[in-house]
Structure 1
Amino acid sequence: MVKRRAFLRTAGASVVGATALAGCAGEESTDTTPSSSGGFAGTLRVATYSSFTGEGAAGNWLKSVFEAAHPEVTVEFMTPENGLNQYILRQQNGADIDADLYVGLNTAELVRADQEIETPLFESVESDLERAGTVKSGLQIDPDGRAIPYDTGYISLVYDEGEVENPGTFDALTSDAYQGDLIAQNAQQSDPGRAFLLWTIAEKGPDNYLEYWQDLLENDVTILSDWEPAYDAYMNEEAPMVVSYSTDQVFYHGDDVDIQKHQVGFLNDQGYANPEAMALFADADSPDLGRAFMDFVLSSEAQAEIAVRNVQFPAVEGVDPGEEFSQYAYEPPEPVTFAYDELAGNVDGWIEDWAREIAN
């Protein structure tokens, strides 16, 4: 399952050069190696999503640099097809987890794991990490200090300025002017789809969000399974707007790119913050190595690389991913998100009701 945007191979797309970025980050950072320089050895097994580990992706860069700092360590990635669900089921059935870290966890998934299994799936590590305190205020997703954010995206609209104006508000999306113009994702299967659903709940309230979605349906919204097919449909001009990320232009800019097709639209001057976090499995075979890797991910150099390679904002305060990233990445005037305590006991019901009345 593609958790979020993959690095699409399209002509004219431009990404900040990794070499230039590394030089920039190196000049500003004094903590560019893992904070724990002890004699680690062995294999660190990291479960994550596929686009985190592809060629040029953030995961491969992290693996290379961490292994260089610890020559007797091997970082091994696993990309389970069912994501976190695989580990929830294994825990429920008493099977070995067979991984040390999970990278790519969001708040709703953590809530679901806590609700569906009796024994903790993840270990509390916040007090053990030297750099945990550098994470931006407001991004923390776990009151128990298990899941540590490493980047964040803001869900927004991406639209073709040559075909349609920025709707500007949620209500405008249901008007005749935007009939058939929006592509969204299934909240049961897709991170941005779930985030967009939660954003509509934050805006319309738990008692009114389904009525709002009925209005979207009547206005011919298209709902596809996940981000990739939705964005492909948008690029194929099946509709002039798609639910996506406000960092869209970080990837799509340059002389050969029609920037009109990659305009970022915030609704009600908001964007839904969707932090991605990493967590150490409670039954990890290499817990100390896992903690060292997590602390390294929070270093300034790693944060700058992750931002550009993952096309998301750094989770750590004071990190500069470079001039090009800053020019094309947009933060909403008002970030919106649900905290862990707000989702606990609610999110499954919201999604189930949406799936029954809207997706079906």
Structure 2
Amino acid sequence: MRRRTFLGTVGSGSALGLAGCLTRDGEGDENGGNGGDGGSEGDGTLTVVTYESMIDTEDSAGPWLKEAFEDEFDAELEWEQLPDGGINHYIQRADRDAGIDADVYLGLNVDDLVRVDDQLEDGALFRELDRDRLERADRVRDEFALGDPHGRTLTYDMGYISLVYDENEVAEPASLEDLTEPEYENTLLAQNAQKADSGQAFLLWTIDAFGEDGYLDYWQRLEDNGVRVLDGWTESYSGAYMEGERPMVVSYSTDQVYTNRFDYDFSRHQVAFPNEQGYANPEGMAIFEDAGDVDLAYDFFDFVLSSEAQAEIATRNVQFPAVADEHVDLDEEFDEYAHRPSEMVSFDYDGLRGNLDGWVEDWAREFAGQ
């Protein structure tokens, strides 16, 4: 997962208590044995792999989750930062039968699952979830599911890719096609689809809009109009956009939550949904096939979907909760400044399978690093 980092020190933004009491659903022993489901006996420690911004500061979601989970269970939660290479690191280890010393992956996208199944066998690397062992799985919105045909994931939050622009310099673009017009020459910052989730999501949005046979022509028009492609979200937003180098950037529809939190100028942080759309980027969690404590992993999943944890993840990770509204209570400021598009655009698992790598590689040959 390659995504945003905080722009500054962030407070909790909520006065929430710890998660309600949970009980183990599995049949393992009190030390976390897996009840004969194929895993080894656990030692009361859960190792969770996740991306940097989940755990990089004390105000990130990770430290709160660790403290609250450990207070609720007789267990220890250890965070492990996602290595360079992301999901490919674990694909390569599985391909070599090298073993994986982690229990849970927090931060999966649909494209990660596609790459797993394209490079390993279908349904590989992660366990199919037994939803009967999850008290809160049904809280997740159906439209936020990752669509994994092998049932390995649960969504824990949702983001929408949008445009953020400075209304003092440019007008709101009504469509993606508008971005190729002279009015928007040398205005847009985007991210590398090979290196940033936001960049890949924006690329997929253009493929949805212009088709497999038309998206490269569209990107040629963007390039002719001066689009600038930087490696990641941090370089394009925290760097070039915040430094005033360009008046528009591919980003997230929750960015005004940051704007309000840090008292930035709202006129420079307007959210645009071209074609009244935003590209959906759900994030999921899965249990590694060789997890040492499967029961504890299921406990963690239910905990993450609790009302308190969902509110804290949304506030601290600045993404939408995965669960339906009745299962989470967000503060009024989050609801006011976190914007949802009228239409959610996305490619599902079947749409990406066998296509994703080719689309990205074809794009990168022509436009990466422009």
Asked if these proteins are the same fold (TM beyond 0.5), I'd say: yes
Query: Identity rate of aligned residues, in percent?
Result: 52
Task: Tell me which amino acid in the other structure corresponds to 1:115.
Answer: D
The question of whether the paired residues in 2 share the 8 Å contact of 1:16 and 1:324 is answered with no
1:186 maps to: 192
After superposing the two structures, state which structure 1 stretch, 252-261 or 348-357, moved more: 252-261
The question of whether the paired residues in 2 share the 8 Å contact of 1:136 and 1:316 is answered with yes
User: For residues 288 and 150 of structure 2, what CA distance do their matches in structure 1 show?
Assistant: 14
Provide Cα deviations, 1:183-210, integer angstroms capped at 9, x if missing partner: 0000011100000000011111111001
Provide Cα deviations, 1:91-119, integer angstroms capped at 9, x if missing partner: 11111111111111100111011110137
Match for 2:109 among 83, 93, 106? 106
Task: Tell me which amino acid in the other structure corresponds to 2:302.
Answer: D
How far apart are 1:324 and its partner, in Å? 1.0
2:179 maps to: 173
Runs of 4 or more, structure 1, over 4 Å off, are 37-41
How far apart are 1:83 and its partner, in Å? 1.6
After superposing the two structures, state which structure 1 stretch, 112-121 or 97-106, moved more: 112-121
User: For residues 71 and 176 of structure 2, what CA distance do their matches in structure 1 show?
Assistant: 48
2:36 maps to: none
How far apart are 1:71 and its partner, in Å? 3.2
2:154 maps to: 148
Residue 90 of structure 2 is aligned to residue 91 of structure 1: no
2:37 maps to: none
Task: Tell me which amino acid in the other structure corresponds to 2:81.
Answer: M
Alignment of 1:1-360 (within 5 A): 3-9=2-8, 17-18=13-14, 20=15, 22=16, 32-36=20-24, 40=32, 42-55=44-57, 56-118=59-121, 120-127=124-131, 128-141=133-146, 142-231=148-237, 232-253=239-260, 256-318=263-325, 319-359=328-368
Gaps of 5+ in 1: none
Provide Cα deviations, 1:221-261, integer angstroms capped at 9, x if missing partner: 00001111011210011100000000001111168421111
The question of whether the paired residues in 2 share the 8 Å contact of 1:168 and 1:268 is answered with yes
Gaps of 5+ in 2: 33-42
TM-score (norm 2): 0.90
Provide Cα deviations, 1:147-199, integer angstroms capped at 9, x if missing partner: 11100000000011111111121111000000010000000111000000000
The question of whether the paired residues in 2 share the 8 Å contact of 1:58 and 1:310 is answered with yes
User: For residues 255 and 195 of structure 1, what CA distance do their matches in structure 2 show?
Assistant: 26
Task: Tell me which amino acid in the other structure corresponds to 2:100.
Answer: I
User: For residues 318 and 262 of structure 2, what CA distance do their matches in structure 1 show?
Assistant: 19
How far apart are 1:34 and its partner, in Å? 3.6
The question of whether the paired residues in 2 share the 8 Å contact of 1:35 and 1:296 is answered with no
User: For residues 104 and 255 of structure 1, what CA distance do their matches in structure 2 show?
Assistant: 26
The question of whether the paired residues in 2 share the 8 Å contact of 1:43 and 1:76 is answered with no
After superposing the two structures, state which structure 1 stretch, 89-98 or 241-250, moved more: 89-98
Task: Please report the RMSD computed on the Cα atoms of aligned residues, expressed in angstroms.
Answer: 1.8
How far apart are 1:129 and its partner, in Å? 1.8
After superposing the two structures, state which structure 1 stretch, 225-234 or 317-326, moved more: 317-326
